[in-house]
Amino acid sequence: MGKYIVKRILITIPVLLMVTVFCFIIVNLAPGDPTDLYISENATEQQIAQMRSSLGIDQPFPIQYFKWLLNLVQGNLGFSFASRLPVIDVLPTKIIATVTLMASTLLVSYLLAIPLGIISARKQNGFVDNLITGVSFLGISIPNFFFGLALIYIFALQLGVLPTGGMETLGGSGGLVDRMQHLILPTIVLAAFYCSNMIRYVRASMIDIFAENYMRTATAKGLKETLILWGHGVRNAWVPIITVISTDIPKMLGGAIVTEQIFQWPGIGQWMISAINARDYPVLMAINLVAAVSVLVFNLLADLLYAAVDPRIRY
Amino acid sequence: MASFKKITLLIMIMFGMVFFLVACGGGEGTETTGDNDGDPSGDITSDGEEEDTLYIGLTNAPGGFNPLNASDTVAQWILRMLYPTLLEQPESLVFDGNLAESFETEDNQSFTITLRPDAEWSDGEPITADDVAYTLELIANPDVETTWGVNISSLEGLQSTGKWEDGAAGVAGVEVVDEQTLILTTKTPVDPNYIKEMIGFNVYIVPKHIAEQYEPAELANSDFATTPSVSGSIYQFVQYETDAYVQLEANPTFYKGEAQLKHVYLRVVNGTSLVTELQSGGVDMAAGGGIGVVPVSEVDTLAADDNLDFESYPGFATQFMFINNEEFDADVRLAMMYAIDREAIVEQLFRGNAEVLNSTYTSASVYFDPNVEAIPHDVDRARELLEESGFDTSQEIELTVPTGNRAREQSASLIQQNLAEAGFNVTQVTFDFVTALANVREGDYQIGLIGIPLTSDPDQTYLWSQSGTTNLGRVNDERMEDLLEQGRTSTSMEERQEIYSELQEYWRDQAFSVGLYGDFQYKVQNKELNGGIKEFWGGSLHDMHEWTKD
Amino acid sequence: MEEQLNFNPVPQKKIIEMEQLSQAQGISQNDDSYTKTIVKRFLKDKVATISLIIFTLLTLVAIFAPALAPYNPNQTVGFFEAAPTSEFLLGTDEVGRDVLSRLIYGARVSLTVGVLSVAIYAVIGTTLGLLSGFLGGFWDSAIMRLTEVFMAFPYFMVILVIVSLIGPNIWTVTFVIGVLGWPMLCRLVRGEVMKLKQADYVQAAISSGYHTFQIAFKHIFPNVLTLILVNMTFGIATSIITEASLSFLGVGVQPPTASWGNMMSNAQSLTVLANQYWRWLPAGLMVLISVLSVNFLGDGLRRAIDGEVK
Amino acid sequence: MNKNPIMQIKNLKKTYNTGKANEVRAVDNISFDIYEGETFGLVGESGSGKSTTGKLLMKLESMTDGQVIFLGESIQNKRSRHDLLAFRKNIQMIFQDPYASLNPKMTVKDIIGGPLEVHRLVSSRKERDQVVYSLLEQVGLSQSFANRYPKEFSGGQCQRIGIARALALQPKFIIADEAISALDVSIQAQIVNLMRQLKQEANLTYLFIAHDLSMVKYISDRIAVMNRGKILELATSDDIYHVPLHPYTASLLSAIPEPDPESERNRQRTTYDESKFTYEQDDPAVGLFEITDKHFVYCHKDEVVGYKEKAERLKQEIMI
Amino acid sequence: MAINSILSVKDLTISFNTFEGEVNAVRGVTFDLKEGETLALVGESGSGKSVSTKAITQLLPQRHTTISKGEIWYHDHDLLKKSSKEMKKIRGKDIAMIFQDPMTSLNPTLTVGRQIAEPLIEHRGMTKQAAKVEAIALMRKVGIVAAEQRFHQYPHQFSGGMRQRVMIAIALACHPKILIADEPTTALDVTIQAQIIDLLKELQAEFATSTIFITHDLGVVANIADRVAVMYAGKIVEIGTVDEIFYNPKHPYTWGLLASMPTMKMDNDDLYTIPGSPPNLLNVPTGDPFSSRNMYALEIDFQEEPPMFKVSETHYAATWLLHPDAPSIEVPEEIKRRNEQFVSILAAKGADSDE
């Protein structure tokens, strides 16, 4: 097991390097010099050159990359071109914001999706199943910017019961309830997709499981419905569920860009958009790194969890 | 059964995690805000707390808080709340004393500045002439990254870049007389308004005792530039939550008196959210002036909102269709000018909340000459001119359109149609703003839409001179150079007005570019707010310490 | 009664004939080819059939847009932001263009982006998946590392950068979605190929002397094709939404070209959302309808292939 | 019977996960010859390595060690496309699961005719179809099957198609890997009869791999009994049945249920205690020893005498 | 010998809905299971043997299945009329099942011990501890060594034979009155199969369980069954004691089955075969579905399905050949041989009973 983890991590390193190299190239390929943004209309050549050297972009790409890598090893992600703040100082707050939204979204999604998916599979092709399936298709099909704005319009502007955006009431005394209120709408918008997606997977795998011989055995034993369902059925659905979770989480960590935009959620996604617009390379690289690491980490975690939920899998 | 317990436990852990995250989310931010953070009952915000808090909506994030190096308008605007300037400008080119009690000259070359004796930094240190001189020295120091070089370049002893000559290490044109007095000397006589705007109004005075703790070369990347600790103006910096909000609190030592609104949050939101926040009361006012822009499509909605004050004024924000002068001669350019129905753009797209840009000055500018006749929309004339020019109309012309401004994107569609009517073969190419700007800057374009924020000072050398840093049209015209030179060196406002009238006329005839429209400034704010945006946006903050909320 | 019964033995020859007859009948009972069976099953699924009809209609609309659209979609033809009238059935947009015409032309863009981008990644994903699964060993791990690299990319960032690099237009958006979308499909195909590789008929094909590539593409590929098709239908739905989201972020298909996505992104103006339903509702409905129909189509296809009785 | 070996297997080995904790010697150093025209039965329970052996001989898996000579040439040297094709033309396989061995997305015509095209034995579509029709007829199916898909047929019909495919290249040698075990009893008999008939018609050699002795005994000339990757006994099928020397063979025989209640009631089962027949790995004194004429048993050198006596005893019992 | 029926199935008719149409899987199956006996259901795949027995415990997928006719009587209850809740109390407790594939019939994610203990807790109300003790005892009983350790292991750590032993332990945990064994040894190697059959026989005697044993292997039937019912195309075509079926078969299909098996005694002749394949139950042909494969077919076979003709008190067969008007025919060699054996067995038995 330990050996397996070490091996996996070692495999991960070249992948990570490749991701960062690709990302560095792509980011640097983008036309337009960051200095175009950070100088005023009447700036002189000399000022531009001075800024370029101050930002460290006066050197050739490979050297820039290796400098970045060297800094990374020392835990330094550079400073933001836009705000000149060390990226490492800003990153945690952004991650916390995104993770908060992600956690509430995924919690709500999965708590709803897993039972709904199971019910759907159990009543396969019945009215309830068609209803759940239909709504979940809707959830996948509705663009979240549209859904989000509609919710803002209804709940924030017309009814005035929920805030339009942000993470908390600024200058208010904050507090849990206030934060929860801010979480509701973006959570609904994101959960619409993640919940629907999960429902589909849970439903599909439960349908397969219901057809399994061991489920027949459990029935033939005369066990109670709930025990058959949870004790025998759902147990075997964890592997696909974990697979979905392990792709959902990095997807969200990579930024729920549109939703964060709409709800002014100060997370990774919003940061990324402004960083792209500002050609803020260090920030982009950091976000990319976080996203890539999360993909790889959750891949690994998923593999390890498989072994926990399925005794047949051993490393 | 055991699995039930496990699942329940798992769910509880997950709930716990969410609560934890929610409770401590943005933890750094709230440390300073209040101590009842995480107190479940703390959500009831008392009215008293909100009454002395001002929420301002911004549509752009500030690029740092470096008083010496702030190219973006947002940062400049916020810095004005944090650092004193010598002068105020409540109306365009009308200057009042601020840190300076007086700012006088007799020869238009030597300016005597007397500072208020009572001014203090927020840490209790007095603000003296030394601070002013040190600020100017920093700007002139070649090691310091700064955007203000050009502002002070007229001073004695400085190059045209605003940096001192090699080995000079000091600004000859700055002389500290005593704690409250200093004298600035320019290389040649200048229009006092020029120096008043460029140095008096635009340059933020930095605390010498703080700034000198840093190596000049490292100032731009230091916490001096990112998290200012000492303020000399209305507010002091509390924190910046990147891309989310800037939090300020009243500076008790402010020389004009402590602000009535003790807290300020400048929230960074997108245009749509700005509207929803304004309507829901999440922000009290839009920052306006190109940094707190409500989308033009929402203007009617906002104007109709009973809770909001809505006014619009001509401003300094402009949109040009730049024409690559190297590719198109004057006739063709003029044909384009005739072809584009700018009235329609202004009337229909902006519902009148903009003005046709007849010249290179908006009506907000005192140098704007209303007598320069506008070129009307005249397709026939355009065709005629086009024919005369012998321009090959089959040639495909690319119209570069930057994204990020819906009204501009929409106007592009109209412009394309207009030009097509006149016989041009135009296709739109869209790029994100930076790319578009980069392409245009490098001359890698034919025609393109770019917005230019103008200044109250009429000098536009940077735009239309061959040596201009933002000569996007690649203008290379002797007469124009001449006029710009005259305007720049003239020392009286009347004289300058004359020169610039001529320039406007010449500019129109040559159609160096097509002025499309000048966006109106909107004042959108909660009716509860007393104060807010002024007709001259740049001077809106001069009485900010007196603003209140009902 | 007894008299009617005939207890004569039937000659063996006749029995053999009867047997052959009954075998032939046994076959003729399901006289359909595999594809036909699936089609038949699919057609029994009402929702899926309706979805297919809708999607076909949409496709036809897209193809015959010039004939169907009443106006030039990019020309100002009326007042700005006018509500629907008999002249402009769905009103006009912010610069006075006919919304209906734009909607019709938008079908072209949305479907092109949807179908073409998925086609691109299906080709990449399938090819790499087949090779990875079939060749195994070094190639397998190399391709798998590559999928990891691509999956580790923040999707939107790359899209945004590339789009700003090349300039946002329908082809860029299509290309980027296509180039980035393949890893999931690749893994799916690989997994399936690994399974099928052990199948006796593949072993039989090897024994018969087929070339490796023939086996991968002629023997294995048809058996993963349905899986790929189902995945592709869902992919089309996702692509249409992605294009719409990109348009919302301002980097999708650019004006004046109409796409449902950029039409719908009008709804980001609250005034439009609240007061000018004709400027977003039709486009929104079209996105919803097309995505739903593609989704249901995929689901129906999957069901027909699995032989799941509805 | 012709005594020319069509295939010689020498010290064939296949090891999975070599050197790891879960190392498996699927095929552990086996040697035997298969003569032209005979039916060679290879019997063993699941995990005995019999199917792996079949795959090794087909070059569907690569051997770890050893040598296989087919038609006078070593098969492991056949790497080039040309050599491989030549090899595969002469050796074909019939698989266990009649459905799984036919590509569900291909018509019967393509399944049977494909190999013909690969080996360029036909020059046109038309010619191919003619060959396919005659092959269908040969295995007792109607021509009308040609354009249909495998899933339309019953298991027995599918297995006939599989046989037709194997016959298409007119191979000399066919490996039938549990070719009948997935079929119903009445169909098994049909297929076995068909295979016997074809063998005579086309002068084939069979390697008949199976997990139980009843059908193998009936169809084979010689039988090898495999267990844990080793051949434990190799003899003519009569000898295997009447004079089973190795206790494992005896236990296999005693376990076969017979459709005869009377004999079942009186049946005595012999159990095989494996621990008594486990030898040290790679002991040179252990191997296949010829006990009586062409009757080999895997044992230690010292046990040979004992087996010889046993053979005598058993033979005498039969006589009586 | 008191011969009470513990279970009687009457005219059971079941069909499945598929994409192609309605498959008539079971077409009027009637049989009794007598106390303490083992009844073997024999037939080719698709003959309906497994479906019939699944109907007993309502294990057929409800959505696609139509049970159009029939009764299943167990202790004065018609099992077909039971609600699923009532059925739960019968399943595993009164009627237990063993399935064909031990690899997939055990839940891979639960320990073997837990799977054995579950019915004990459910039906016998045992505590977890008590159930564990009992489960370990059961495991020992079915021949699993080191039961204490293996209690905590998962199915994948067991060999096929061992898994089937676990399945048997689960089935017998509550001492069921009826055991339905659905091809329990088909997936196993012969030597393992022999062990499992011996084990089943032994336990069946000990628990006095009546057994329905489904298989297609006549060898296994000969070993384990008291009575045999031969099924073809959804019907029982012949039913009788094991001796009657093996030594005095009356249905040509039974003849075919028996004759097509190679026996150890046989020579290298061609095997006897039944031509063709079983009919498609989507459209059951008129007359006897077997007629077109029947070398002894009469004209009437193609017109009318034969009823059950009585051969003896215990022996019935559905073939027109038993009709008084039917011509006499020459039975296959193998059957002749068996008939001869039957005579001698009868004689021996008669001698036994005389003494």
| Residue C72 touches partner B, C-beta closer than 8 Å | no
Residues A111, A139 within the same domain: yes
pTM for the whole thing?
0.84
Do B298 and C270 count as a contact with CB atoms less than 8 A apart? yes
- Provide the 3-class DSSP secondary structure of residue B117: coil
Residue B230: what pLDDT?
93
What's D5-243's CATH class? alpha beta
Residues B329, B478 within the same domain: yes
Contacting residues for B260 by C-beta, under 8 A, at least 6 apart? B52, B545, B546, B547, B548
Residues B331, B454 within the same domain: yes
* Residue that the structure tokens 């977890």 belong to: E128
Do E190 and D255 count as a contact with CB atoms less than 8 A apart? yes
Q: Using CA atoms in the order E17, E22, E25, E26, what is the torsion angle rounded to 10 degrees?
A: 100
Q: Are D148 and D95 in contact (CB under 8 A)?
A: no
Q: Which whole number is the average pLDDT over A69-81? A: 87
The yes-or-no verdict on residue B1 having pLDDT over 70 is: no
Concatenated DSSP letters of B251-276: -TT-TT---SS-EEEEEE--HHHHHH
CA distance C6 to chain E (A): 5
Q: Are E46 and E278 in contact (CB under 8 A)?
A: yes
- Share of residues in chain B with pLDDT > 70 (%): 91
Say how far apart CA B279 and CA E147 lie, in whole Å.
73
Residue B41: what pLDDT?
36
Touching status, chains D and B (3+ beta-carbon pairs under 8 Å): no
Residue B39: what pLDDT?
37
pLDDT band at E305 (very low <50, low <70, confident <90, very high): confident
Residues B402, B500 within the same domain: yes
Residues A22, A151 within the same domain: no
Domain segments of chain D as ranges = 5-243
Q: Which whole number is the average pLDDT over E123-132? A: 89
pLDDT, averaged across chain E: 84
Residues B506-536: tens digit of each pLDDT? 999 999 999 999 988 889 999 999 988 888 8
Residues C113-157: tens digit of each pLDDT? 888 999 998 999 999 998 888 888 888 888 988 888 888 877 777
**From C7, C23, C44, residue closest to E276, measured CB to CB:** C23
Chain A CB contacts of B31 under 8 Å are none
CATH number reported for the structural domain that contains residue A201 in this entry = 1.10.3720.10
CA distance E287 to chain A (A): 35
Contacting residues for B257 by C-beta, under 8 A, at least 6 apart? B545, B546
Helix (H) or strand (E) holding A107: helix A87-122
User: Of E49, E167, E176, which Cα lies nearest the Cα of E106?
Assistant: E167
What tokens were used for C130? 């087949």
Q: Which whole number is the average pLDDT over D134-158? A: 83
Beta bridge partners of D287: D299
Give the angle C42-C45-C49 at the CA atoms, nearest 5°: 75
Residues A178, A103 within the same domain: yes
pLDDT band at C307 (very low <50, low <70, confident <90, very high): low
Q: Which whole number is the average pLDDT over B350-373? A: 88
Q: Which whole number is the average pLDDT over A291-298? A: 87
| Residue B524 touches partner C, C-beta closer than 8 Å | no
Q: Are B507 and B534 in contact (CB under 8 A)?
A: no
Chain C CB contacts of E293 under 8 Å are 15, 19
Residues B206, B281 within the same domain: no
CATH number reported for the structural domain that contains residue B329 in this entry = 3.10.105.10
Q: Are C269 and B295 in contact (CB under 8 A)?
A: yes
Residue B45: what pLDDT?
38
Residue B24: what pLDDT?
59
pLDDT band at E186 (very low <50, low <70, confident <90, very high): confident
pLDDT band at D271 (very low <50, low <70, confident <90, very high): confident
Do E104 and A224 count as a contact with CB atoms less than 8 A apart? no
The yes-or-no verdict on residue B42 having pLDDT over 50 is: no
Residue B244: what pLDDT?
87
pLDDT, averaged across chain D: 84
Return the residue of C nearest to D59 by Cα.
C207
pLDDT, averaged across chain C: 81
Mutation target among E16, E18, E19, E20 for the C interface, most CBs of C within 10 A: E19
Asked which of A231-240, D180-189, E46-55 is least confident by mean pLDDT, the reply is D180-189
CATH number reported for the structural domain that contains residue B187 in this entry = 3.90.76.10
Q: Are E229 and E40 in contact (CB under 8 A)?
A: yes
| Residue C211 touches partner A, C-beta closer than 8 Å | no
Touching status, chains D and E (3+ beta-carbon pairs under 8 Å): yes
Residue where a domain terminates, one of B196, B220, B244: B220
Q: Which whole number is the average pLDDT over A252-273? A: 84
What is the domain extent for residue B496?
317-519
CATH number reported for the structural domain that contains residue B266 in this entry = 3.40.190.10
Task: Report DSSP state, residue B155.
Answer: B
- Share of residues in chain B with pLDDT > 90 (%): 41
Q: What is the 3-state secondary structure (H, E, C) of chain D?
A: CCCCEEEEEEEEEEEECCCCCCCEEEEEEEEEEEECCCEEEEEECCCCCHHHHHHHHCCCCCCCEEEEEECCEEHHHCCCHHHHHHHHHHEEEECCCCCCCCCCCCCHHHHHHHHHHHCCCCCCHHHHHHHHHHHHHHCCCCHHHCCCCHHHCCHHHHHHHHHHHHHHCCCCEEEEECCCCCCCHHHHHHHHHHHHHHHHHHCCEEEEEECCHHHHHHHCCEEEEEECCEEEEEEEHHHHHHCCCCHHHHHHHHHCCCCCHHHHHCCCCCCCCHHHHCCCCCCCCEEEEEEECCEEEEEEHHHHHHHHHHHHHHHHHHHC
Give me the sheet containing D230-236, strands edge to edge.
D91-94, D173-177, D205-210, D39-44, D222-227, D230-236, D295-300, D286-292
Largest CA distance in chain C: 93
E78 part of a folded domain: yes
Residue B242: what pLDDT?
86
Chain E CB contacts of D190 under 8 Å are 273-275
Residues B410, B335 within the same domain: yes
Do D55 and C210 count as a contact with CB atoms less than 8 A apart? no
pLDDT band at B48 (very low <50, low <70, confident <90, very high): very low
Handedness of CA B328, B332, B338, B344 (dihedral sign): negative
B281 part of a folded domain: yes
Beta-strand runs (E) in B189-277: 235-241, 245-250, 263-268
Residue C19: what pLDDT?
65
CATH number reported for the structural domain that contains residue E269 in this entry = 3.40.50.300
C137: left (phi over 0), alpha (psi -120 to 50) or beta: left
Chain E CB contacts of D269 under 8 Å are 194, 198
Chain E CB contacts of A309 under 8 Å are 109
B22 part of a folded domain: no
Return the residue of B nearest to C72 by Cα.
B417
CA distance A8 to chain E (A): 25
Chain C CB contacts of D84 under 8 Å are 209
B365 or C307: which leads in pLDDT? B365
What tokens were used for D226? 């495999």
Give me the sheet containing B110-115, strands edge to edge.
B100-105, B110-115, B181-185, B174-178
Residue B29: what pLDDT?
39
Do B297 and C272 count as a contact with CB atoms less than 8 A apart? yes
* Exposure on the CB side of residue C229, measured as CA atoms within 13 A: 17
CA distance C254 to chain B (A): 7
pLDDT band at B57 (very low <50, low <70, confident <90, very high): very high
The yes-or-no verdict on residue C20 having pLDDT over 80 is: no
Say how far apart CA B182 and CA B173 lie, in whole Å.
10
Name the CA radius of gyration of chain C, rounded.
26
Residues C179-209: tens digit of each pLDDT? 888 888 998 899 888 888 888 888 888 888 8
Do C29 and E282 count as a contact with CB atoms less than 8 A apart? yes
Residues A86-142: tens digit of each pLDDT? 899 889 989 989 988 988 998 899 999 989 999 988 888 788 988 998 888 888 878
A78 part of a folded domain: no
The chains found to touch E (3+ Cβ pairs under 8 angstroms) are A, C, D
Do B244 and A42 count as a contact with CB atoms less than 8 A apart? no
Q: Are A94 and B242 in contact (CB under 8 A)?
A: yes
B75 part of a folded domain: no
Give me the sheet containing E316-317, strands edge to edge.
E95-98, E178-182, E210-215, E38-42, E227-232, E235-241, E316-317, E309-310
Count of the separate structural domains present in chain B: 3
Touching status, chains D and A (3+ beta-carbon pairs under 8 Å): no
The yes-or-no verdict on residue C57 having pLDDT over 90 is: yes
Q: Which whole number is the average pLDDT over A305-314? A: 82
Name the CA radius of gyration of chain E, rounded.
21
Do C241 and A143 count as a contact with CB atoms less than 8 A apart? yes
A83 part of a folded domain: no
Touching status, chains D and C (3+ beta-carbon pairs under 8 Å): yes
What is the domain extent for residue A58?
2-73
User: Of B218, B204, B64, which Cα lies nearest the Cα of B141?
Assistant: B218
Say how far apart CA E192 and CA E212 lie, in whole Å.
20
Residue B49: what pLDDT?
45
Residue B4: what pLDDT?
56
User: Of B152, B147, B141, B151, which Cα lies nearest the Cα of B73?
Assistant: B147
Residue A174: what pLDDT?
65
Do C222 and D103 count as a contact with CB atoms less than 8 A apart? yes
| Residue E68 touches partner C, C-beta closer than 8 Å | no
- Provide the 3-class DSSP secondary structure of residue C64: coil
Do C152 and A292 count as a contact with CB atoms less than 8 A apart? yes
Q: Are B519 and B295 in contact (CB under 8 A)?
A: no
Residue B237: what pLDDT?
94
**From A79, A104, A274, residue closest to B61, measured CB to CB:** A274
The yes-or-no verdict on residue E264 having pLDDT over 70 is: no
E251 part of a folded domain: yes
Q: What are phi and psi of D34, to 5 degrees?
A: -120, 125
Residues B513, B543 within the same domain: no
The yes-or-no verdict on residue B59 having pLDDT over 60 is: yes
User: Of E3, E76, E36, which Cα lies nearest the Cα of E207?
Assistant: E36
Residues A142, A283 within the same domain: yes
Give the helix ranges, DSSP H, for C80-220: 99-135, 137-152, 155-166, 170-180, 182-197, 200-207, 212-214
Count of the separate structural domains present in chain E: 1
Do C145 and A150 count as a contact with CB atoms less than 8 A apart? no
ipTM, interface predicted TM-score of the complex: 0.82
CA distance C148 to chain B (A): 28
Residues B97, B125 within the same domain: yes
pLDDT band at B102 (very low <50, low <70, confident <90, very high): very high
What's C113-306's CATH class? mainly alpha
Q: What are phi and psi of E322, to 5 degrees?
A: -85, -5
Residue B250: what pLDDT?
94
Residue B37: what pLDDT?
38
Q: Which whole number is the average pLDDT over B218-223? A: 86
Residues B468-484: tens digit of each pLDDT? 888 889 999 999 999 99
Return the residue of E nearest to D248 by Cα.
E191
Contacting residues for E230 by C-beta, under 8 A, at least 6 apart? E42, E43, E236, E237, E238, E239, E245, E251, E253, E254, E257
| Residue A74 touches partner E, C-beta closer than 8 Å | no
**From E277, E293, E327, residue closest to C9, measured CB to CB:** E327
Do A51 and B280 count as a contact with CB atoms less than 8 A apart? no
Chain C CB contacts of E275 under 8 Å are 15-16, 19
B7 part of a folded domain: no
User: Which residues 58-87 of A are in CB contact (within 8 Å) with B?
Assistant: 79-80, 82-85
Say how far apart CA C307 and CA C309 lie, in whole Å.
6
Residues E195-235: tens digit of each pLDDT? 888 888 888 888 888 999 998 888 888 888 899 999 988 88
What tokens were used for C275? 């007061």
The yes-or-no verdict on residue B106 having pLDDT over 70 is: yes
User: Of B470, B469, B499, which Cα lies nearest the Cα of B483?
Assistant: B499
What is the domain extent for residue E352?
1-37+47-94+227-355
The chains found to touch B (3+ Cβ pairs under 8 angstroms) are A, C
* Residue that the structure tokens 């809707």 belong to: A138
Say how far apart CA E139 and CA E148 lie, in whole Å.
9
The yes-or-no verdict on residue B404 having pLDDT over 80 is: no
Residue B87: what pLDDT?
93
Chain A CB contacts of C185 under 8 Å are none
